[in-house]
Amino acid sequence: MSRATCATIHLDALRHNLKTLRQKAPHSQVMAVVKADGYGHGLERVARALSDADAFGVAALDDAQRLRAAGHRQRVVLLSGPDEAADIPVLRDLDVDAVIHHPSQLAWLEHAAAGPPLRVWLKIDTGMGRLGFPLAEAVDIHRRLRNCPAVQKDIVCMTHFARSDEFGESMTHEQIQRFEACLQGVPGERSLANSAAVIGWPASHSNWIRPGGALYGLSSVDGRSGTDLGLRPAMTLSTRLIADKRIEAGDSVGYGAGFVAQRSMRIGIAAIGYGDGYPRLAGTGTPILVNGRRTMLVGRVSMDLLALDLSDMPEARVGDPVVAWGEGLPIEEVAARAGTIGYELACGITRRVRFQEVDSR
């Protein structure tokens, strides 16, 4: 029998989340960001479920090739653009849009061999401090791109937010203002909003929204889960109990004897650990579900196993289902105990975990 640890991907949840985000930005087109293998959910299955999206955003040219091989004909946008001049003919062959954010990329386009012109997105740095042309150069770069024979005239201008997940912070408003001010009189569509901005900053919606984590039911908003934001988790990570035992006061559990029982208690052992992508830094007190009921981890997470408290679950037996995160247990709660975010956990599922799809449609 195969290892019990399984990541169940809920295709109906992906569609629900796309519909929810469209309702929040009804006048915008949607670029569904499917980078990092669909945020760990599986690129091809995610793209199939999100086939109503107007475009897909990827971080690697290989992912664009996978989408085209799977038959998807929507616009595909390479979010960091070409890495070298040799990527330009590949982009042309695949009919993939390129984000242009650096002078080297502009030079490659201006010196490109004759061929079909590319659709490009001009990235402007309004405060993220990562990729993008300075505000003062944006108009001139836009002009050069429009005059470049290798580029189609309908250029989309875009930026990225640094603090859009902090709804009370002023920086996002300031970035919107800088973006609009520097592009006055510049033709073309605009794209500003990432997942958090779609939810919390309506003024940023413009022509294109670019949700990523929200499509998967993930929240980047501190203290709020995806469910709190009207989204549904697209992944349930589950396993089974493979052992149970009684320990007495003074007995320890796990590596380093980090947990010491204060009373007689019953513990269970579940077949999941950091070798599956469960966070090692989640320790005693981290919530987990057994038969749909909440209990908590005790001791350190090891590579293949973790221990949990069954003291208040006399009915629990070897073979019973255990849910690490998903319906009934937001991934954000587990991530917070490990000092990280749900995005990292979803992207970190390892190859030995079995994936399955479910669809209530």
Residue 163 confidence (pLDDT): 96
Nearest CA to 310 out of 288, 338, 279, 333 is that of 288
Per annotation, catalytic residue among 19, 153, 245, 255: 255
C-alpha distances in Å from residue 227, one per residue of 2, 216, 220, 328: 31, 11, 12, 10
Mapped onto helix, strand or coil, the DSSP state of residue 95 is: coil
DSSP 8-class letter at 42: -
Query: What CATH number does the domain located at 12-218 have?
Result: 3.20.20.10
Per annotation, catalytic residue among 24, 35, 123, 343: 35
34, 50 in Cβ contact below 8 A?
yes
Q: Is 35 a catalytic residue?
A: yes
Residue 3 confidence (pLDDT): 84
Task: Write b or e for each residue in 58-67: b if 16 or more Cβ atoms lie within 10 A of its Cβ, otherwise e.
Answer: beebebbbbb
- Distance of alpha carbon 110 from alpha carbon 104, whole angstroms: 10
Residue 17 confidence (pLDDT): 98
Tell me the DSSP string of 101-170. Answer: -SHHHHHHHHTPPS-PPBPEEEEEESS--SSSEEGGGHHHHHHHHHT-TTB-S-PEEE---SSTT-TT-S
Q: Which residues belong to CATH 3.20.20.10 in the chain?
A: 12-218
Mapped onto helix, strand or coil, the DSSP state of residue 5 is: coil
- pLDDT of the chain along its 361 residues, tens only? 578 999 999 999 999 999 999 999 999 999 999 999 999 999 999 999 999 999 999 999 999 999 999 999 999 999 999 999 999 999 999 999 999 999 999 999 999 999 999 999 999 999 999 999 999 999 999 999 999 999 999 999 999 999 999 998 999 999 999 999 999 999 999 999 999 999 999 999 999 999 999 999 999 898 899 999 999 999 999 999 999 999 999 999 999 998 999 999 999 999 999 999 999 999 999 999 999 999 999 999 999 999 999 999 999 999 999 999 998 999 999 999 999 999 999 999 999 999 999 998 7
Residue 222 confidence (pLDDT): 86
Mapped onto helix, strand or coil, the DSSP state of residue 202 is: helix
Q: Which residues belong to CATH 2.40.37.10 in the chain?
A: 235-358
Residue 238 confidence (pLDDT): 98
Beta strand residue intervals within the chain, DSSP E: 6-10, 29-33, 55-58, 75-78, 97-100, 120-125, 133-134, 156-158, 190-193, 208-209, 235-247, 252-253, 259-260, 265-270, 287-290, 293-298, 306-309, 321-325, 354-358
Pairing of the two strands 97-100 and 252-253: unpaired
User: Does residue 47 come out as left (phi exceeding 0), alpha (psi in the -120 to 50 range) or beta?
Assistant: alpha
1, 350 in Cβ contact below 8 A?
no
Residue 354 confidence (pLDDT): 97
Domain with residues 235-358, CATH architecture: Beta Barrel (2.40)
Max Cα-Cα span within the chain? 77
Does the pTM surpass 0.85? The reply is: yes
Q: Count CB atoms within 10 A of the CB of residue 98.
A: 25
Q: Is 24 a catalytic residue?
A: no
169, 138 in Cβ contact below 8 A?
no
Which neighbouring-strand residues pair with 207? none
